[in-house]
């Protein structure tokens, strides 16, 4: 059986299956090679990558964000070790990881020391520091999709969650998705020193196929809207009229090593502090969600230019996601999705992308070029950066029957603009046509994934 929310679905035009039986077999056989155990003992943590159509860069400010997963992700095959040892190999990185779950894990003090081992140790750190009893380790093999790591799809969060789920599984720990969101946040914030919010783990752990997940990052409460549920002509279950394009820039780096992200978070907090102080609410924590929109309108003149831009991005992005008291929009991201209005949803996504460039001031020359190429592609309804916007890829919502045409157009045009960067990207990974996915789960040896 598959945990609720899991399973890619069947054929006949429905969602693309992830992971496929072939992908599972590869991972299981690798675990058998490493552990010497029977293949029927191997369990697999399947953790999909995520996209954020609307709500970018506001999760760390307690904003409301939207997310869905895609049919690509991280697979961690594992068996319980006979003691507390952790032994891991990777499909992307060299070397072998060995440590014990009863070793005391200490936070990393230098971002330059972060590597693929850090996420496994970080998972142990998070569980240890939240009172969970770890006695057994794992023997495992972890594999992402070649070319998709460090691409703004939250591959690091997917890896961290895979380690959490596997350690919880072998230690018979019952941990809710909501608690695992906070555990992954502990990996990223406390162990790695990255000032991010709960968007990434929320998307990976809570998404459902065909639904857009709305996560209130202040209250940590999710809600779901099925595509076109308010329309009189609802789409058949498993048949969505759009696909997702991921176009890769060729720029890659590890987010914790890039100071730009943490700087933006600091500036948002400074903007919140100034606005709260100006309105006499100094006791509130310095996040923009604690600033009433009317207060922002009345007091935004006190902000320095860069802080003003960060605040403008936050409040305009909140309007794109849902109704707020600043301007009661007759249409917003939730409504457009629920009514099945892809044109309107696409316009909101593109506006979000423009605000990321102009107000949040993220995105290199190359990323902006790629974003603009996507906007001109046939069948593309809307586009924006994926992830923090400093590297990786751009995403687009595209009409299903024009997805391949759009992908070819984007690949050709970006190669003309950036031939040297395109050369770094595997030919079959320059532009991917994806479908929405499901939530992270552990696939047990006797599970039939696509029953």
Three-state SS at 127: helix
Please state, in angstroms and as integers, the Cα–Cα distance from residue 38 to each residue in 29, 140, 219, 258, following that order: 9, 13, 44, 42
- Round to whole Å and give the CA distance between 385 and 394: 4
Q: Where are the alpha helices (DSSP H) in 41-176?
A: 116-129, 155-170
Please state, in angstroms and as integers, the Cα–Cα distance from residue 13 to each residue in 207, 239, 340, 435, 450, following that order: 20, 6, 18, 11, 14
- Whether 109 is a known active-site residue: answer no
- Classify each residue of 101-125 as buried b or exposed e, where b means 16 or more C-beta atoms within 10 Å of its C-beta: beeebeebeebeebebbbbbbbbbb
Q: What does residue 10 show for φ and ψ, rounded to 5 degrees?
A: -90, -165
Catalytic residue among 59, 200, 438, 447: 200
Three-state SS at 309: helix
Query: What is the enclosing helix (H) or strand (E) of 358?
Result: helix 342-358
Contact 205, 4 (CB under 8 A): no
Q: What is the set of active-site residues?
A: 200
């Amino acid at each position: 059986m598959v945990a609720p929310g899991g399973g890619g679905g069947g054929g006949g035009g429905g969602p693309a299956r992830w992971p496929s039986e072939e992908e599972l077999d590869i991972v299981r056989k690798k675990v058998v090679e490493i552990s010497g155990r029977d293949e029927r003992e191997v369990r697999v943590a399947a953790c999909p990558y995520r996209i954020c159509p609307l709500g970018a860069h506001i999760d760390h400010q307690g904003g409301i964000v939207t997310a869905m997963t895609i049919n690509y992700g991280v697979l961690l095959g594992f068996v319980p070790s006979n003691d507390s040892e952790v032994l891991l190999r990777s499909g992307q990185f060299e070397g072998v990881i060995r440590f014990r779950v009863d070793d005391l894990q200490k936070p990393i003090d230098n971002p330059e020391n972060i590597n693929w081992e850090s996420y496994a140790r970080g998972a142990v750190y998070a569980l240890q520091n939240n009172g969970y009893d770890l006695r057994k380790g794992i023997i495992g093999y972890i594999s992402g999709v070649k070319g998709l790591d460090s691409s703004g799809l939250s591959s690091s969060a997917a890896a961290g969650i895979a380690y959490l789920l596997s350690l919880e599984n072998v230690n018979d720990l019952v941990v809710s998705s909501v608690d695992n969101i906070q555990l992954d946040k502990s990996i990223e914030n406390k162990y790695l020193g990255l000032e991010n919010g709960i968007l990434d783990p929320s998307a990976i752990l809570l998404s459902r196929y065909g639904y857009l997940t709305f996560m209130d990052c202040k209250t940590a409460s999710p809600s779901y809207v099925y595509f076109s549920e308010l329309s009189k002509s609802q789409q058949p279950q498993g048949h969505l009229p759009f696909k997702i394009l991921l176009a890769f820039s060729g720029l890659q780096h590890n987010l914790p090593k890039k100071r730009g992200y943490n700087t933006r978070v600091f500036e948002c907090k400074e903007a919140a502090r100034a606005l709260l102080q100006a309105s006499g609410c100094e006791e509130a924590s310095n996040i923009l969600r604690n600033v009433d929109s009317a207060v922002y309108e009345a007091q935004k003149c006190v902000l320095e230019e860069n802080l003003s831009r960060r605040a403008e991005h936050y409040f305009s992005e909140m309007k794109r996601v849902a109704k707020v008291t600043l301007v009661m929009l007759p249409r917003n991201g939730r409504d457009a999705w629920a009514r099945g209005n892809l044109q309107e949803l696409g316009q909101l996504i593109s506006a979000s992308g423009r605000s990321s460039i102009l107000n949040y001031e993220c995105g290199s020359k190359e990323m902006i070029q790629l974003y603009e190429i996507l906007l001109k592609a046939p069948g593309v309804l809307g586009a924006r950066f994926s992830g923090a916007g400093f590297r990786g890829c751009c995403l687009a919502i595209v009409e299903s029957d024009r997805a391949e045409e759009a992908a070819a157009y984007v690949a050709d045009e970006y190669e003309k603009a950036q031939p040297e960067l395109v050369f770094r990207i595997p030919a079959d990974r320059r532009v991917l046509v994806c479908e929405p996915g499901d939530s992270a789960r552990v696939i047990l040896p006797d599970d039939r994934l696509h029953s």
